[in-house]
Structure 1
Amino acid sequence: MALPPPVTSEKGRTVILFAALVAMGILIGAAAHTTLPVFLTASAAIALWLLAFGAREGLTRLRRR
């Protein structure tokens, strides 16, 4: 899968930064409305998924060498 070309204009960088801040605000706001056990369970599930994905990608990269 090819990566998109880098954003070189100042306006493009500002739009990307704004979109990232809006996304973070939505996620933090959603987390603020859940109970602590639900938030911690969801956080642990996401962390485990990211660790498994990273391990799988790392093993695949090692096997290709």
Structure 2
Amino acid sequence: MAVGHAAGDFVALALSSPDGNALFEVPRSVLVRFLRRTYVVVPRGRETDHLDVDAAVNRLLAGR
């Protein structure tokens, strides 16, 4: 938690991959705005219109 900020003002995001890990602290208001804009561009349930996750995972597993 950042010093000088009330509890709940920030969200911790942890990312990991085979190449390493990262921990970010993001202002909650910034994350909320980002997610709202994201849902406008890609509405819930329409993700596969933009990305075939299964095909991407299969390519990664196949080493391509």
Q: Do they fold alike, i.e. is TM over 0.5?
A: no
**Which of the pair has more CA radius of gyration?**
1
Q: TM-score range by the shorter chain?
A: 0.3 to 0.5
Which structure is higher in helix share?
1
The normalised TM-score by structure 1 is: 0.37
Which structure is higher in strand share?
2
The normalised TM-score by structure 2 is: 0.38
